[in-house]
Structure 1
Amino acid sequence: MSDGHGSSPGDPGTPTGWASNQPPPYGNAQGSPWTAPGPAPDPPAPPQGPPQGPWQPHGQAPYGQPPHQQPYQQGPYGPPPYGAHMPPPAMRPGIIPLRPLGVGDILDGAIKLMRSNPKSVLGLSAIAAALGAIPLAIGQVIALESITPLLENPNAAPDEGSFLSQYGGSLLSYAIQFVAVTLLTGVITRILGRAVFGGKMTAGEAWTLTRSRVPTLFGLVVVNLVILLVPMAMIIGVFFALSSAGAGVGVIAIVGVVAVLAYVAYAFFVSTRLVLAPAAAVLERRGVVDSLLRSWHLVSGGFWRTLGIVILTQIIAFLVGQLLSFPFVLGGSFLVLLGESSDGARIAAAILIAVGVTLGSMITYPLQAGVNGLLYADRRMRSEAFDLVLQTAAIEQRRQGWVHASADDLWDPSITPAGPARHEPPGQGAPWPHS
């Protein structure tokens, strides 16, 4: 007998729980060919306890983990699932985001360094490049004049004095570049330390802060030269010993190939491990040996990445330098070859070559120095969580609205700030950059 809410237990075709005046669910109609024979299957048992295994329902956090802690995961076929958490963008008060940097961040930061401080960075780079380009341009003009008789008469003997003059100009140019680029690297690194927070620095202020680090910078260059030249001198000594012993040409050739490959690998390895020493010397105020050891330690664990970025930067700098200087060098060469050795042609050619070399170097010098400085910052953020220190300082500077000169001390691990930086009146700091 029915109670009005369902059929009797023996009534076939109407499942329990369905009213008699309602049609049965699809597939259970009486006489339907889709009705499964026999009794209806039991409903599945509810799951007991947390799900096992790595699989989780789509768009849900793992068992026991709040949904807001679920990491962002981009699906292969479109946007992330509903409920996925996207991390907030990193703070970027200055030329880089305050997090471990990618290759694009480093190159972009080096370019932004030149754009944010054009007078200091590009102005000083132009002076350093011009000092090295002028003697080099004079030497190239003299060398081109010595080639002119050979073009008219291939059997003519070259002028020995012209070649000596060329070598003298090149050696003088390299000596000037050695001094200028070493000083420029230190000054640009100091400007970079402030530019990370969005602050600016004049050339005079940068030189005042870097002046005490000049002996250390020159010491680093000398030590690097010794480290690279001593093995080369040993290889040359081996060649002389083999020649004196009467070794065959094949033996000398095999030894030479092996020695050259070994030296190239050695030079790449040592140069990469010590590439961060200038930044450590300037920003952390370390000595020569301490800066070398600091660079060696920071590059540990990221050697191949550092080597790849350094090589990529060298390639980009070479291409940019050649692209900017080639039209001027080509024009100067034509003036010398077609000017019939007139004084006006020589002067115009020297000016054109000097302008081309200066234009190329004033871009490549700060690019390489900026990349090395940002590599130093990246290695500290990856190995020492230094990005947390930078973020904390940036938050305080944003709250106060100024990029203080005391931000330079944050790069020195031996200096612990006693408290938050005090407010500075306008004119004694850089205002916080507004995005």
Structure 2
Amino acid sequence: MSDGHGPPPETPSGWSAEQPPPYSAPPASPWTAPGSPQQVPHGQPYGRPPQQQQPLGPGPQTPYPSYPHPQPGYGYAPHPSALRPGIIPLRPLGLGDILDGTIKLIRSNPKAVLGLSAVAALLTAVPVAVGQAFVLDSMGSAFADPESATTSGTELTTASGLVSQYGGSLVSFAVEFLVVTLLTGVLTRILGRAVFGGNLSAGEAWQLVKGRVPALFGVVGLMAAIMVVPLIVFALLFVAIAMNASSDSFGALVGLILLFIVVYVPYYLFFTTRFAFAAPVAVLEGRGPIDSMRRSWHLVTGDFWRVLGILLLTSLLVGLVSGILSVPFTLAGTMFGMFGAGSAATAIVSAVLIAIGGTLGAMITYPFQAGVAGLLYADRRMRSEAFDLVLQTAAIEQQRQGWVHASADELWHPSNSARR
């Protein structure tokens, strides 16, 4: 008979009925976020089945399990693999993810991306190529027979060359303003679907973008005004100083030019970075021009230097690649134009070669810059608005249904952001 102070009865497993067995696993929560690591029982390594406890005492003991190094935000569990239904993993992106996603965007839909970019690049390269071919032909004629050129003839040739060169550049800028703006909108819409593994043809993308064309032109127009106003102020100051020419005016002009460069370069980089996401916002979120620029400013806040660094690195890489592609054709066109002066056929060949070089360079530049800007925009929303959770939930549903439908385009609306 027990006096109430004896040991409690034992269960068949050997543990006291009043004392829970050690190392018991906490109950798992039924609510888990998409892609989040599952709860790991104490003493059990992540991803392994529970091990049977070995009795203490002499004899061979089970070695302690090796734990992975701590991961930021995940404790001692290894970093879970993110869903990747399309060109990027659905988590905050690193530089490698952004560059790789841009390349995958081009490779996944080359007909729409490279085809449209080639058309846009050709339209902007032809006016410049024609103007440069005319200037090179004029220079070649002067070099071939310098004595035959009279003073008036030289002045006429120089004036014609300047008109041809700068007139072609102005026409190219006007065409670029029109074509590249439309191209950016189309490529952004293609990218928005490619994140989920879907493809859009050029015609389908245009049907989705054409309603956003006024907003796109508004964004580009406001950006152009912001960049041009300082140039106009500088030009007025320069003309005012030059008209009051004196013995000390040359030094003042040089100082003004240096001051302008020192001030304008940071000004240009600051505003291009702050408004880098205005075009993607106008297309994917359906906002107006001013609201898109305000939204871009807000998204860049808190990560300005990282966004600036990625944009500068992208420009450097794209400039290097486009230069490798375009320099041979541009150099050959220049040689034809200068050493074959006076021949219409030579001028045509020169213009064609220069146009091919400009087209190849811009054909890589346009989609790459648009892709990096679009993926940076998605990354900033993931980091500041937990947008990756929205994308993961949608991707799971898309995979369950087995196809990517048009409702994925609506996920970019800011009402779907899960703000932290």
TM value normalised by structure 2: 0.76
Pick 1 or 2: higher relative contact order, CA cutoff 8 A, min separation 6: 2
Aligned residues between the structures: 344
The CA deviation at 1:69 is 8.9
**Alignment-mate amino acid for residue 279 of structure 1:** P
Report what 1:185 is aligned to. 184
More deviation, 252-261/373-382? 252-261
More deviation, 86-95/374-383? 86-95
More deviation, 353-362/182-191? 353-362
Gaps (5+ residues) in structure 2?
Answer: 1-39, 47-64, 69-76
Report what 1:424 is aligned to. none
Task: Render the CA deviation track for 1:30-63: whole Å, top value 9, x for unaligned.
Answer: xxxxxxxxxxxxxxxxxxxxxxxxxxxxxxxxxx
The CA deviation at 1:245 is 7.8
The CA deviation at 1:323 is 0.9
Q: What is the root-mean-square deviation in Å for CA atoms of aligned residues?
A: 2.5
The CA deviation at 1:256 is 4.6
Residues 2-401 of structure 1 mapped to structure 2, 5 A cutoff:
66=42, 82-84=66-68, 85-153=77-145, 156=149, 157=154, 159=157, 160-239=159-238, 248-249=248-249, 250=251, 253-254=254-255, 256-401=257-402
SS of aligned partner of 1:403: coil
Q: What is the distance in 2 between the residues matched to 1:340 and 1:255?
A: 39
**1:163 and 1:231, CA in 2 relative to 1: closer, same or farther beyond 3 A?**
closer
**1:256 and 1:339, CA in 2 relative to 1: closer, same or farther beyond 3 A?**
closer
**1:144 and 1:252, CA in 2 relative to 1: closer, same or farther beyond 3 A?**
closer
Q: Contact between 2:241 and 2:253, CA under 8 Å: does it hold in 1?
A: yes
Q: What is the distance in 2 between the residues matched to 1:402 and 1:119?
A: 21
Task: Render the CA deviation track for 1:299-343: whole Å, top value 9, x for unaligned.
Answer: 000000011111111111211111111111222222223334322
Q: What is the distance in 2 between the residues matched to 1:325 and 1:204?
A: 29
Q: What is the distance in 1 between the residues matched to 2:410 and 2:359?
A: 34
Higher-Rg structure is 1
Q: What is the distance in 2 between the residues matched to 1:151 and 1:252?
A: 32
Q: What is the distance in 2 between the residues matched to 1:252 and 1:359?
A: 38
The CA deviation at 1:172 is 1.1
Task: Render the CA deviation track for 1:207-252: whole Å, top value 9, x for unaligned.
Answer: 0000011111111111111112223333444455666788954556
Gaps (5+ residues) in structure 1?
Answer: 1-63, 71-80, 417-435
Report what 2:59 is aligned to. none
**Alignment-mate amino acid for residue 263 of structure 1:** Y
Q: Contact between 2:134 and 2:161, CA under 8 Å: does it hold in 1?
A: yes
Q: What is the distance in 1 between the residues matched to 2:209 and 2:188?
A: 9
**Alignment-mate amino acid for residue 198 of structure 2:** G
**1:379 and 1:256, CA in 2 relative to 1: closer, same or farther beyond 3 A?**
same
Q: What is the distance in 1 between the residues matched to 2:336 and 2:230?
A: 43
Task: Render the CA deviation track for 1:370-402: whole Å, top value 9, x for unaligned.
Answer: 000011001101111111111111111111110
**1:164 and 1:204, CA in 2 relative to 1: closer, same or farther beyond 3 A?**
same
Q: What is the distance in 2 between the residues matched to 1:344 and 1:258?
A: 46
Q: What is the distance in 2 between the residues matched to 1:167 and 1:384?
A: 46
Q: Contact between 1:325 and 1:359, CA under 8 Å: does it hold in 2?
A: yes
The CA deviation at 1:68 is 6.4
SS of aligned partner of 2:286: coil
**1:363 and 1:68, CA in 2 relative to 1: closer, same or farther beyond 3 A?**
farther
Q: Percent identity?
A: 55
**Alignment-mate amino acid for residue 380 of structure 2:** R
**1:262 and 1:340, CA in 2 relative to 1: closer, same or farther beyond 3 A?**
closer
Q: Contact between 2:137 and 2:340, CA under 8 Å: does it hold in 1?
A: no
Q: What is the distance in 2 between the residues matched to 1:244 and 1:253?
A: 15
Q: What is the distance in 1 between the residues matched to 2:243 and 2:201?
A: 59
Q: Contact between 1:67 and 1:83, CA under 8 Å: does it hold in 2?
A: no
**Alignment-mate amino acid for residue 99 of structure 1:** R
**Alignment-mate amino acid for residue 390 of structure 2:** V
**Alignment-mate amino acid for residue 344 of structure 2:** D
TM value normalised by structure 1: 0.74
